[in-house]
Amino acid sequence: MQAAHPIERAVGMEYYVSDADGVGGRLRASPADFRVRELEAFDTEPVDADTGAYPHLVFRAELRNWETNDFASELSDRLGISRERVSWAGTKDKRAVTTQLFSVKGVAAEDLPEIGGTDIEVVGRAGRPILFGDLAGNAFEIVVRETENADAAASVVADLQAFATGDDPTAGEGGETALPDGETTVGVPNYFGQQRFGSRRPVTHEVGLAIARGEWEDAVLAYVGNPHEREPESTREARAYVDETRDWAGALDRLPGALGYERSICHRLVENGAAEPADFRDALEALPSNLQSLFVNAAQSYVFNRILSERLERGLPFDRPVEGDVVCFRDGDAPEDFPIPDADRTQEVTAKRLSTVERHCERGRAFVTAPLVGTDTELGGGEPGDIARGVLDDLGLERGDFDLPGAFDSDGTRRAILLRTDLGVDRAGDDLTFSFSLPKGSYATVLLREFRKGDPDA
C-alpha cells in the first residue's frame, strides 16, 4: 500500500493497494483509446409493436466524442421534441467511443436523424422509457499510451490478484516480470472515481458537505468561488473576486459565459438580495434538480471513500467480513456470470454468523459493504461501525443531516467495498491495453489508477 496522488487524496482516495511502481502514460490520447459498451439489461418488443402500448422507440447508439447529455440535446433538437422525451441508462464521458441504449417517446424509427459522430441501430419498442440504472454494467477496452514503465504492469497485476482474494499484496514483492496470458481476476477498493467530484476541479463534495451541514452560503461559495489551480487564469480571478467581495453583480461581469450554473446562482442572489441563509438556499434550489442531487451524492461518495481508506489503513479485509460488517446479497436478476450486489438485501454480521457469511462472500453470493450515508442508513457495528462514525464525526456530520429539502434529501444506501473483475492486459511496445467489465456504478479509473499511479487528469 502506498499514498495516492494529492488530487485523489482530496476526494478521499488515500491509497493505492499495489506497492508496485506505476506505469505512467497517457489516458484518452484519442477517443478511440477509451471504449465503453453497455452490458444491456432492458427488454424490448419488436419495432412494429403497437405504438399505443409501446410508445418508446429503443435504439443502440455508438457515440464518438459525444457526451451523453449533449447527444440527447442534439437528438431532441433535430426531432423538434422536448429533451425530456429522450432517456438512457447511464451517462458516459465525452472523450470516448461509447455504445449504449436510448429510448425516445413518440417517434417513428424512420424519423431518427443522421448525426455526425454516431451510428444508430433501432432495437425495438418498450412500454416505458429506459431509466437511469437500467443496465447490468459496462465493458471497457482502454489504451494507455506512451507508458514510462510498462514492465511494472505485471507486478501491479500480481498485487491486485492478491487483493482480490485477501492475500498480502506484498508477499511476492520483487516479482512478476511477465503479464499473464488471457484474463485474470483482480480486485481494488470500490472507490468513487475522480469524475464523481469533478475531474479538473474536484469540489462537488465540498458543496454537498456544506449543504448537509445547513451552511448554505458556504455551499454557494464552494461552487461559485473556490478557485482551482487547474482552471484558466481568468476563471480563477473571477472566483477569487467572489470569495473576496461577495459582490454577485460584479461576479456576473467577470464569470465566463461557459459557467452557466455559477452565473445562474449569481443572478438569483442579485434578485433576492443575498441577505439571509434562505437566499443562498433559494439560489441553489434554482439549479436543475439532478445537479442538486449530484452535490449531496458527491458528499456521500466522499464519506464512502474516506471509510474505505480508513479500512485499508487499519488492515481490515475487503473480500470477507469481520464482526459488525453489513453485507448485501447477490442480485437474483443479474447474469449468472456477472454477479451484482443487491443493496436492498442486507444483513449485519454477528460473531455467530461470521463463518457462514464468509463462505457466502467466498462463493460470490454476498458482498461486504460500507454506507452511502443518509437518513436511513445503518452504520453497522464493531470496528466497521466505529470507522463510519469516526469519519462522520471528523466531518461534523450526522445521518439526520441528510434530511434535506427537495432534491437535496437522501435516505442513503450501501455499496460493495471490493471491486472484482476479470482483467486482460496486452502490451504493444510502450502502450498497454486493458480489457474488463464492471457492474453499474463502478469506475474504470479506480482500476487504472493502480497501474498509472499519477495525476488522474494526465
Which residues are known to be catalytic?
93
One-character DSSP codes across 369-380:
EEEE--TT----
8 A C-beta contact, residue 94 and residue 34: no
Give Cα 352 distance to the centre of its chain: 35
8 A C-beta contact, residue 376 and residue 398: no
What nine digits make up the cell of 101?
Answer: 441504449
* φ, ψ at 246 (rounded to 5°): 55, 30
Q: Give dist(CA 392, CA 303) in Å, integer.
A: 7
- Cβ neighbours for 118, distance < 8 A, ≥ 6 positions apart: 61, 62, 63, 64, 66, 71
- Cβ neighbours for 374, distance < 8 A, ≥ 6 positions apart: 300, 399, 402, 410, 411, 412, 413
- Amino acid identity for residue 287 in this structure: L
8 A C-beta contact, residue 10 and residue 205: no
Tell me how far CA of residue 170 lies from CA of 174, 188, 189, 226, in angstroms. 9, 15, 16, 40
- Return the H-helix or E-strand segment holding 296: helix 289-314
Q: Give dist(CA 392, CA 2) in Å, integer.
A: 24
